[in-house]
Structures are given as C-alpha cells and as structure tokens.
Amino acid sequence: KQEVTQIPAALSVPEGENLVLNCSFTDSAIYNLQWFRQDPGKGLTSLLLIQSSQREQTSGRLNASLDKSSGRSTLYIAASQPGDSATYLCAVWGGTYKYIFGTGTRLKVLA
Amino acid sequence: EAGVAQSPRYKIIEKRQSVAFWCNPISGHATLYWYQQILGQGPKLLIQFQNNGVVDDSQLPKDRFSAERLKGVDSTLKIQPAKLEDSAVYLCASSPGTREAFFGQGTRLTVV
C-alpha cells in the first residue's frame, strides 16, 4: 500500500530565504509525482508535475526533483515571499489511476 | 477551457441532516474523483468513476455516503445523516485518462 509522507509538517521562515520541502513515498512504482499549492479553504493549484522518467521540473522560483529509487521528491522555493504562504501537498499517481496525497507542509513566510 | 465546477462553495448543517454536493467536470473527461480533506490532512479518495461506472469506492462510508454519475458527466455526492466528523472540504477532480487530474475549488462543509 502506497504511503506518502511530507516533512516538515509546518515551516515558518523570514522573507527571502530559500527553502526545501520534502516528500517521501513507500512504493517506487509510480507514474508521476505532482506538487500542489492550497490556500486556506480553497482547492488545489497544480505547481509542478514530474513524470516518472524525469528527474526534475522547474517553474519560475520553484524546482522539484524526483528520485524514484529512493522514494523521494523535494520542492525547492527560491527567494521566498509572503505570497508563498500556503499549504504544499505532494501526490503520487500509481498504477490504479488515482492520486495518493501526503499530509502537506504548512508554510508561512514572514515579511 | 472551463475548469471543474463545484457547488455550493460553503455549507453549514446540523448533525443528522442531509447534504448534497454537485460537480461538473471538464468537458470530455471520463474519470471523476471525489476527495475528502479533513483540516490538517491531505485529501483522501472517497470514490472514483470511469464514465458512469464506479472504479473504486473502497474508502466511501457507504452507510451514510452515496455518489452517482448517472449520465457519465456531472456527479452528486450525498451525506445522510451527517456527523460532526464529516466536517471537511470535499474536492472533485476530473481526468481525461492521462495520469493527471484537475481539481475544483471544493465545498467546505461544517457540521454543527
């Protein structure tokens, strides 16, 4: 059974810092891994999707890497801003055509 | 392209009452998902439809939850009777059959 874990559960940093969010999964037989952002009480906004054959994806100040063999992914946020404050979720897409989500990292960037 | 539409956005009900949520997926998407997200947790899959058939409902509390997708397009999720622990955000997502899904804004349910 696939399990997805995110560390840390919460993070508070001053504006301008570079930071790393971690995601680990127990079953390496995945098709892709996706990072989402969720603002309080809202739906999910897709940030980056990494196919199983890829090692990383980049979008603006965001970079996500994937190491299937070790069951790990990291989301790197450069030069953090108060507007980055949100919950970040990772999800893996397995062989049964559905997402399994982690519990999220709640990020607060202080001005 | 219009996204996944959900309604209502917010709902407050008393315990033991019933409630229904509606989802209209992206046009042409055969797969539709309902997720439950309790505060502080990641979304948990409740039910997955392929067209109008159920693919996976193993985590749906069938004694009180039901869902249908009669014409293979929009879907309704119902809770009857509601319990306090059903307070959550209910997310609908759809997929065209590729390994990526698109999420709606969710319905926040508060049971008092």
Reported confidence tier of residue A94, pLDDT bands at 50, 70, 90: confident
Closest-CA distance of chain A to residue B39, Å: 9
Q: Judge whether A101 and B38 are in contact, CB under 8 Å.
A: no
Integer Cα distance of A10 and A8 in angstroms: 5
Burial of B39 (0-12, 13-18, 19+ CB in 10 A): exposed
Q: Is A48 on the interface with B (CB under 8 A)?
A: no
Nearest to residue B111, comparing CAs of B85, B91, B90, B76?
B85
Mutate to test the interface with A, among B29, B103, B105, B108 (most CBs of A within 10 A): B103
Chain B CB contacts of A101 under 8 Å are 35, 42-44
| pLDDT tens, residue by residue, A47-88 | 999 998 999 999 999 999 999 999 999 999 999 999 999 999
Integer Cα distance of B87 and B69 in angstroms: 23
| pLDDT tens, residue by residue, B37-96 | 998 889 999 999 998 899 999 999 999 999 999 888 999 999 999 999 999 999 999 998
